[in-house]
Amino acid sequence: MEDASMSNGTILKYLQGKLPEEDRVDFERQLREDAALAEAVEREKEVQIAVDLIARYRKREQVAAIAEGLEEEAPKRMPLAKVAGSFLLQPMGRVAAGVLLLIVAGFVFLQQRYSDAAIMRSFGQRYELDLTDKGGGAQEETLKAAMENYKAGNYEQALEQFSGLPNTINEYWLVQLFIGNCELELKRYQSAADTFSRIVGESEFYEETARWYLALAQLGANRGDQARATLNAIAPGQFNYTKSQQMLSRIDSPFRHLPGI
């Protein structure tokens, strides 16, 4: 399904909930791993919102036209526009309503592309790496179960299991990175930011990776200014540098200064 997943038809079926269960699971896995696919899904969402708004406007136009026809057939009756109190039944009212809907559609488009939450959704990706412990015993079993839950998207269970591992475990900071990702997936953005910030400050090996995820958590918490500073600290050649520059271009976009964005 990998090639098909990039087609607009498949994306539209996914957004409409019409993909078979097996294809949906596979599509969502690719969605977590492929930033380009996530971007395509966001664009399709924006298109569907605009299409829906235009369809509603046209429906109102049709209703208004029918209503005006009824008024012409019954001139002695009180005008339907007055009875209904509907501004949309007046010609100028329909024009104004059309302009308003276009403005709303444009605003929704900008909000879905340039808000902190939209940037996080567009560029976010789940951390993927197999983590094992060959020490044996209950600790190895707990880690194995945590990884299985994490891969299956059972983040609440995975978080509980990762958090229950001792501080003396091998790859302690990698475990913390998975904990932060669980918190991120569960939308506990402040907790995730705290976890990633601690990794950045104390783990030289995982600092680069944690810094990028820290920016995602800050965006999730609607702290765009903090996310900008975090992303600016990512140097060329470091983890997700290219994505960080793309995110910065959106964060610095003048559209973000519009009310509500």
At 43-64, the pLDDT tens digits run 777 667 666 666 665 666 665 5
Q: For the residues 189-213, what does the mean pLDDT come to? A: 97
Instruction: Return the HEC string of 75-96.
Output: CCCCCHHHHHCCHHHCHHHHHH
Q: Return left, alpha or beta for 187; rule: phi > 0 is left, psi -120 to 50 is alpha, else beta.
A: left
Minimum mean pLDDT among 98-112, 168-182, 232-246: which range?
Answer: 98-112
Give the model's confidence band at 90: pLDDT under 50 very low, under 70 low, under 90 confident, else very high: low
pLDDT score recorded for residue 84: 46
The whole-number pLDDT of residue 96 equals: 58
Contact, 56 vs 97, CB < 8 A?
Answer: no
Q: Residue ranges of the domains in the chain?
A: 4-33, 50-114, 126-257
Average pLDDT score over residue span 21-46 = 81
CA distances from residue 244 to 199, 217, 247, 248 in whole angstroms, order as listed = 19, 14, 5, 6
pLDDT band at 34 (very low <50, low <70, confident <90, very high): confident
Give pLDDT, residue 112: 56
Residue (of 235, 191, 185, 187) closest to 212 by Cα position = 235
- At the topology level, CATH places domain 126-257 in 1.25.40
Q: Could you identify the residue written with the tokens 């918490």?
A: 221
pLDDT digits over 97-141, tens only?
555 555 555 555 555 567 788 888 888 888 988 776 655 567 889
**Overall pTM > 0.75:** no
Residue 174 CA from chain centroid, whole number: 25
The answer to whether the CB of 149 falls within 8 A of the CB of 157 is yes
- Crossing angle for the helix pair 35-73 and 8-15, nearest 10 degrees? 70
In this prediction, residues 227-243 reach a mean pLDDT of: 94
* Residue 162 banded pLDDT, cuts 50, 70, 90: very high
Q: Out of 27-36, 90-99, 165-174, which region has the weakest mean confidence (pLDDT)?
A: 90-99
Alpha-carbon torsion (102, 119, 223, 155), positive or negative:
positive
Return the SS3 of 26: helix
